[in-house]
Amino acid sequence: MENILTPKQIVAELDRYIIGQHEAKVAVAIALRNRYRRSKLSEDMREEITPKNIIMKGPTGVGKTEIARRLAKVVRAPFVKVEATKFTEVGYVGRDVESIIRDLVEVAIRLVKDEKFKEVRPKATEIAENKLVEILLPVRKNGSGTEDKSDEVLKEELRSELRAGHLDSLTVEMEIRQQPKPMQIQLGGNPGDSINLGNIFGQMMGGMPKQPVKRRKITVKQAMENIIASESERMVDQDSIVQEALVRAEQDGVVFLDEIDKIAANNTGMHEGHDVSREGVQRDILPIVEGSTVQTKYGAIRTDFILFIAAGAFHMARMEDLIPELQGRFPIRVELDNLTKDDFVKILTEPDNAVLKQYKELLKVDGVTLDFTPDAIEEIAQISFEQNETSENLGARRLHAVIEALLKDVLYEADDNVTNFIVIDKDYVVEHLSSTLKESNLRKYII
């Protein structure tokens, strides 16, 4: 594990994308730093220290999922987000909980593969350039003004033009290896429970089946990427990718269990028919969180050191409604705050992926420049806050609904709009959102 960030640095990194929720950020930052600390201990001590799993409580749209996702990106850790409601207990039709770990391994393999490909890309690019130069050389030699130039000079010219992208749209004919469609047999109800017959028969015949080759006309840019991908595959050892991915998934994996409150029995005291199934799912999740060995098509993986982050709104149920054994496996509890008007102002303007920045960039494509005045931003934040208070609390997701309604005319007429510079001020906001506010206010009185 290569993470050397301190908890404060991790929180600062999360602050770039998520407003507020300092307590939750501190909790996940400590959990992440503890992994790095554990990696520096002796092997005997490492085996004794397991992650302290986290459970978050808070309404939708306040940053629970985003905190976990950004956390994994900080250290390039394998990360999967799953909804607890997708699973059923053993014996019922549906996904079983072990598929969470199989998904995590698949993510880890993609992650490691991307990293290995980046390492060999310079060498693969050099090979691709040489191959394309050889393909393009005869065409260049037939052109005018090249009679006095040697092959080496022409090759250097072609290589320079390739690197500058001047030949990207040129069409060349070359052999492309077709990826064969896998022949798979499904063994169970889960996508990961399958056998690739092509691999089995290929190994029985003394090796993997050869990929069919087909001549196709493609652009130079497509040819470049195709050759780079093909050469990268040759340079990278697939077995080492799998082995490293299994270790990364075991030691650095992060599983985000969303909607955990939906599998808790509600606190009304009424027992519905599906409460048994809810408790069954909790009991099936328990061994995965406690630490067990899961078989995947790449090999066995232990779940003892995977960090589990659970989250839910807990409107109809409480954390205490989860079975005690599962509660005990999530010792760190964090309650996320409802978003205030000031939070909305910051969300609109401060993060690297701020909502207003997104809409400005989208409309720039059509040559429209948007300018939001400070009083307009305040008004949008106030309206979003009030709608969350008076109707369903959607957290930051409310902003998308409000801004879509606000900019509906601009987004619709952007390609025909004569005015390329549009100022959104408070009056514009009030005028364009008045009908939306009326509907929202009227809904309060409809029974």
What average pLDDT does range 203-222 have in this prediction?
A: 68
Task: Give pLDDT, residue 243.
Answer: 92
pLDDT at 323 over 50: yes
Cα 242 to Cα 238: distance, rounded to the nearest angstrom = 6
Beta pairing partners, 195: 185
Residue pointed to by tokens 């705050």: 337
pLDDT at 196: 57
Q: How far is CA 130 from CA 162, 174, 224, 228, in A?
A: 10, 14, 10, 11
Please give the share of the chain, as a percent, with pLDDT higher than 90: 11
**Of residues 239 and 275, which shows the higher confidence score?**
239
In degrees, to the nearest 5, what angle opens at C-alpha 63 toward C-alphas 265 and 22? 105
Q: What is the rounded CA–CA span in Å between residue 109 and residue 78? A: 9
User: Could you tell me if residue 38 is inside a domain?
Assistant: yes
* pLDDT of the residue at 193: 54
Asked whether residue 2 is assigned to any structural domain, the reply reads: no
Mean pLDDT of 12-39: 88
Do the domain assignments include residue 206?
yes
Residues 112 and 221 in one domain: yes
Q: Which residues contact 101 (CB under 8 A, 6 or more apart)?
A: 249, 255, 288, 294, 296, 301, 303, 306
Residue among 45, 104, 52 nearest 77 (CA): 104
**Band (44; pLDDT cuts 50, 70, 90):** confident
**Stretch 417-437: mean pLDDT, rounded?**
79
One domain, residues 385 and 404: yes
- CATH number for the domain that contains residue 262: 3.40.50.300
Same domain for 172 and 264? no
- What number is the average pLDDT over the span 167-184? 70
Q: Which residues is 334 bridged to in the sheet? A: 56
Of 414, 430, 433, 434, the residue nearest 422 (C-alpha): 414
The per-residue pLDDT for 102 is: 92
Do 223 and 113 share a structural domain?
A: yes
What is the structure's pLDDT at 149? 74
Residue 225: is it exposed, middle or buried by C-beta count within 10 angstroms (0-12/13-18/19+)? middle
Whether residues 279 and 375 fall in one domain: no
Domain assignment of residue 134, yes or no? yes
Q: What mean pLDDT comes out for the span 437-443?
A: 53
The predicted model gives 70-83 an average pLDDT of 85
Residues 324 and 403 in one domain: no
Report whether pLDDT(30) > 60: yes
Give Cβ neighbours of residue 338 (< 8 Å, ≥ 6 apart). Answer: 58, 59, 62, 388, 393, 395
| Confidence band for 104, pLDDT divided at 50, 70 and 90 | very high
> Average pLDDT of 367-377?
89
* pLDDT at residue 266 is higher than 60: yes
Bigger pLDDT: 326 vs 179: 326
Global pTM reads 0.76
**Cα dihedral 434, 437, 441, 444 sign:** positive
Percent of the chain beyond pLDDT 70?
A: 81
Instruction: State the CATH number of the domain containing residue 371.
Output: 1.10.8.60
Same domain, residue pair 195 and 111? yes
pLDDT in the model for residue 446: 45
Residue that terminates a domain, selected from 188, 218, 243:
243
**Domain check: are 179 and 228 in the same one?**
yes
Evaluate whether 406 touches 429 at the Cβ level (below 8 Å): yes
Residue 327 confidence (pLDDT) above 70: yes
- What is the per-residue pLDDT for 355? 86
- Domain housing 304: 7-105+251-335
pLDDT at residue 178 in the model: 62
pLDDT score of 269: 47
Contact 64, 336 (CB under 8 A): yes
Average pLDDT of every residue of the chain = 81
Among residues 335, 357, 388, the one where a domain terminates is 335
Residue 440 pLDDT > 60, yes or no? no
Q: Which range has the worst mean pLDDT, 273-287, 296-310, 344-358? A: 273-287
pLDDT at residue 182 in the model: 55
pLDDT at 246 exceeding the cut of 90:
yes
The verdict on 88 and 137 lying in the same domain is no
| Same domain flag for 131 and 168 | yes
| Calpha distance 313→259 (Å, rounded) | 7
Per-residue confidence (pLDDT) for residue 447, from 0 to 100:
45
Judge whether 397 and 60 are in contact, CB under 8 Å.
yes
Same domain, 111 and 237: yes
Residues 375, 420 share a domain: yes
Using the predicted structure, report yes or no on whether residue 245 has a pLDDT greater than 90. Answer: yes
Task: Note the pLDDT of residue 271.
Answer: 45
How many other C-beta atoms are found inside a 10 Å radius of the C-beta of residue 209? Answer: 12
| Mean predicted confidence (pLDDT) in 380-406 | 86
Which of the listed residues 227, 243, 259 is the one where a domain comes to its end? 243
Domains identified in the chain, total number: 3
Assign 83 a pLDDT band (cuts: 50, 70, 90): confident
The predicted structure's pLDDT at residue 445: 42
**Average pLDDT, stretch 297-325?**
87
Query: Domain for residue 1, yes or no?
Result: no
Q: What is the pLDDT of residue 274?
A: 46
Q: For residue 301, what are the contacts with CB-CB under 8 A and spacing of at least 6?
A: 101, 105, 246, 249, 250, 293, 294
pLDDT of residue 1: 45
Inside any domain, residue 129: yes
Higher local confidence (pLDDT), 209 or 81: 81
Q: Which of 128-132, 276-280, 316-320 has the lowest mean pLDDT?
A: 276-280
